[in-house]
Structure 1
Amino acid sequence: EFERRTDALAEAGGDRVDGATAFFLYDSMGFPLDLTVLMAKEKGLRVDEAGFEAEMAAQRERSAAAAKAAKATDGGRSLALEVGETAELARAGVRPTDDSAKYEAADAPPLRGATVVAIFDGARFLGPADSADSSSGALALVLDRTSFYAESGGQVG
């Protein structure tokens, strides 16, 4: 990718790899900036390092905003179930959510009739008589089955 982009730059008479390109090579292709600078120098090109740093700062801001938006919180508490919470569910006899429906064909009948097996308010699991200590009203529902994929690295945002 570096070769393709720098060859196109040279053909156009350019002498500088812009910050956006250097950042793309870093962020998407795994090229460290110092390697891009070294390889560009070997081709008689310069790299806009200030532009790269501006792109890096913008990416940090986008990442922080996306993480904040994607993380459902209640009073600063995450509603994501961590190891301790899943262990607590297992001790209570709650089976892991059956997510096999996510592998069925798109034309399969829709999943219906999932049952709520636990409710989490970010601090504790709620029983039938409990009220949620929640200023935002956000709760996590644990279902017995689902057709949704769990969020994973690279899928956020």
Structure 2
Amino acid sequence: MHFLLRSKRLHVTGAVVLAGLSIALSACTTMQNPFQRSSTPPPAEMPPGDTAPPPPPAAETGPPPEPGLAISPSQRFADVPLPIGAKEDADKTFVYEDKNLQIGRMVYTTRSTVNELAQFYINETSAGGWKLISNIQAGGQELQFVKAGKRLTVIVRDLGPTKGRQLWLTVTPDSGQ
């Protein structure tokens, strides 16, 4: 008999606990989760008499920066532009010039990118009367320019992230063929 009373008490206790949990859980579904964002934000309130803050001042606009690389004042040949920052490699450079002839292979290193250097020569050589006749992109950039009696070859090679780029400028006579 003692066993039956004990078993009945467990059933009653279990039923009471189950009923209590059911009520508690049903209350949880009607409560708002404190960690969930509400679908509508609370209305913004401004104290009476305050006005909206003034808009931030407009940024000063100056002249736009000039695109590309600047021309160096120290050029070997007046009609062959050289970008600022190019450092001559004297061991690889050869220049011969007299009143009738200009021949030269000038070699420089620079921190400018291959694309910046190629664009510099495409933009700047026309001022010296040069005409672009070929543009080869393979492991760097090679540009060929001509003008009356002269040919200019511009070769740009990437030496890697720490060594920069190598710029080869070759000026030779052109037979015009």
Give the TM interval when normalised to the shorter protein: under 0.3
Q: Which structure: larger Rg?
A: 2
Higher strand proportion, which one?
A: 2
> What is the TM-score with the length of structure 2 in the denominator?
0.20
Higher helix proportion, which one?
A: 1
By relative contact order (CA 8 Å, sep 6+), the higher-ranking structure is 1
